Structure 1
């Protein structure tokens, strides 16, 4: 039995499945969940044209930075609202649940937060990239597995009949 389950979520279509799986592991009034979502700080000021000698690279007016801050704030608010809706669902199952949205690198942040919080288990998804796409895109789940301070349960992104049944069984 796990008492403190950290659930690392992104905004992928599989996020609901990962949450539901973590919820199925938790036991009412005994376990607690921490839903954790990261907005990658490295991507917030990025443009696909950076490095191609555009005016974007030399924005002296500061307008881009104001836009970035507003965009980031909206993303944080949207993510917190989404996480709150999941936390409410957990609370309806008598599972205490908190949530956090952080602007940071998720690779480092997930393990660090699990250690700070004293998590017994990290539940995380895997999209199933293979070969060159995994090398180019990276693998958060792989990084977490190798650096986590506790056990890690990786939920495969491709749905199977078994995971569909679990998700349907948890719909209340």
Structure 2
């Protein structure tokens, strides 16, 4: 059924749930895992894109911004690589054949392209549950992958909202159903 499972992960909290789900599935079908992290400035914990506002007034500061940003980006890249290594080692410890790769790029496009080139049968990806304006502004990597992947996609939800749960926000109360 599934022989090659691509695990698209990021550095957010849901990343470990995505890997755990993929490892559990891979054990059951004796599949090979490839853990992929795409280095993208849009990622939740990344240093983002350096700001150059006001640099036309202070052009001599541009070098300082570039040096500081490069240092932050290098730290982010190293932390993500270590996270990939540790999660891969956990999969191997569970008896699953696993490897990892980290690639810079646009997350959704890179995941779909890598899955196709690697010959993945399944992509396992997290879904943070953004909706409305947040999803419109930030985009949804999982939504992009669902619509553009050349193979099946399994999404792991970040949280489950119970039916008829009462939610309070800044003195206002709403009920979800």
Q: TM-score, normalised by structure 2?
A: 0.78
Query: Aligned partners of 2:57, 2:36: CA distance in 1, in Å?
Result: 32
What corresponds to 1:168 in structure 2?
A: none
Partner residue, 2:158: 157
Q: CA deviation at 1:45?
A: 6.4
Give the SS at the match of 2:115.
helix
Higher RCO (CA < 8 A, seq sep 6+):
1
Deviation per CA, 1:150-171, whole angstroms, max 9, x where unpaired? 000111110589xxxxxxxxxx
Q: Which moved more, 1:59-68 or 1:131-140?
A: 59-68
Q: Where does the alignment leave 5 or more consecutive residues of structure 1 unmatched?
A: 162-172
Q: Which is richer in helix?
A: 1
Deviation of residue 70 (structure 1)? 2.6
Q: Which residue of the partner structure matches residue 170 of structure 1?
A: none
Q: After TM superposition, give the deviation of residue 7 of structure 1 in Å.
A: 0.5
Cα–Cα, structure 1 residues 59 and 144, in superposed 2: closer, same or farther, change >3 Å? farther
Residue 34 of structure 2 corresponds to 34
CA distance in 2, matches of 1:57, 1:141: 40
Q: What is the match of residue 125 of structure 1?
A: 126
Larger Rg: 2
Unaligned regions of 5+ residues in structure 2, if any? 163-177
- Relative to structure 1, the CA distance from residue 56 to residue 70 in structure 2 (aligned partners, 3 Å threshold; closer, same or farther) is farther
Shift of 1:60: 6.6
Does the 8 A contact of 2:2 with 2:29 survive in 1? no
Structure 1 residue ranges, 4+ long, deviating more than 6 angstroms after superposition:
none
| Greater Cα shift, 71-80 or 125-134 | 71-80
CA 23–54 in structure 1, closer or farther in 2 if over 3 Å, else same: same
- Give the conservation status (yes or no) of the 8 Å contact 2:47–2:76: no
TM-score, length basis structure 1: 0.80
**Could you tell me which residue of structure 2 aligns to residue 142 of structure 1?**
143
Number of aligned residue pairs: give it.
Answer: 159
